Amino acid sequence: MQAGSLIISVFGDAVLPRGGRIWLGSLIGLLEPLQLNERLIRTSVFRLAKEEWLRTEALGRRADYMLTPAGKRRFEEASRHIYASNAPLWDRRWRLILTVGELDPKQRERLRRALFWQGFGVIGSDCFVHPSADLTAAFDALMTDGMTDLLSHLMPLLAADSRLGQSASDVDMVQSAWNLEQLATAYTDFVTRYQPILKTLRQDVRGEVDDESAFLLRTLLIHDYRRLLLRDPELPDVLLPANWPGQKARLLCKELYRRLLAPSERHLDLHLKLANGTTPQASSMLAQRFQNEDPLGPVPV
């Protein structure tokens, strides 16, 4: 896995609820069991700072890394999707971003990749589509990704509200804009990977793993799920194939995460430090994750 991407997951999942900052030495210690060496972590963090995801604050010979305001906005927006118990309701209005004027091939590919990781599909070469995205947040994310120069070439549009139900044009657009077969395979692989862990925890009388293992499992779980969900448009059920595995993956992630939360937080209480040696306390943000009850009940294992 890419170290920079994993560090982003750690900041969003573990560091943000504790103030959004961490001593670099503490981050290195937390990730060392995942076979990420000190040099790789330092290089990755430096790159994230250069890309304006993180900034530093020195305290003597030590330094804290913390989220920039733009980075914090990105994490908070992503968190609303990652830790939700249910997919958002569809208001039957498509969100569109049209490209206006000429973009060179490199600019077009940068834009396509950035919007792909926000769940946008592509229609033709000039139109990006999403069922529920906040267009203002989408443009803010592009700015954070260093694409301010492209914003003058983009036109956000909100399609008219249709109360006539699912139409053939909706189905056709979904089929052309997204590779749902590939996404379904990725969700199925996720369930296959983590389902045995959940089954083992259910069968264990204590229902826990040791604190460090819980933190490492939680990190990998949310990292894998984040990368799935951020490219998932979270289409309404009427536009999804039958037996869509995304909902099973969500239920699995929710239950496993809640089982890992307490022991992993005990590990962070001991090992997440600031440069001044103190441990920041977790906010109520953690207790609110995956809290809403799902109408479909627990995931079958």
C-alpha 75/C-alpha 16 separation (Å) is 8
Residue 167 confidence (pLDDT): 56
Q: Which residues of the chain have pLDDT under 50?
A: 164, 293-296
Residue 296 confidence (pLDDT): 42
Distance of CA 229 to the CA centre of its chain: 6
Is 286 in contact with 261 (CB distance < 8 Å)? yes
Is residue 144, in this structure, part of any structural domain at all? yes
pTM of the predicted protein model: 0.85
One domain, residues 190 and 139 = no
Is residue 154, in this structure, part of any structural domain at all? yes
Is residue 31, in this structure, part of any structural domain at all? no
Task: Say which residue the tokens 């039958």 belong to.
Answer: 242
Residue 103 DSSP code? -
Residue 141 confidence (pLDDT): 85
**Helices (H), ranges, the chain:** 3-10, 24-31, 38-50, 69-82, 105-116, 135-144, 168-177, 180-203, 211-229, 245-271
Is residue 120, in this structure, part of any structural domain at all? yes
Residue 74 confidence (pLDDT): 78
One domain, residues 184 and 249 = yes
At 17, which amino acid appears?
Answer: P
Supply φ then ψ for residue 103, to 5 degrees. Answer: -120, 135
In the chain, the percentage of residues whose pLDDT exceeds 90 is 53
Structural domain including 116 reads 93-160
One domain, residues 126 and 192 = no
Of 107, 131, 160, the last residue of a domain is 160
Q: What is the CATH number of the domain that holds 261?
A: 1.20.58
| Total structural domains within the chain | 2
One domain, residues 156 and 198 = no
pLDDT 10s digits, 158-170: 887 655 455 557 8
One domain, residues 209 and 264 = yes
Is residue 149, in this structure, part of any structural domain at all? yes
In degrees, rounded to 5, the angle at the alpha carbon of residue 139 between the alpha carbons of residues 137 and 140 is: 60
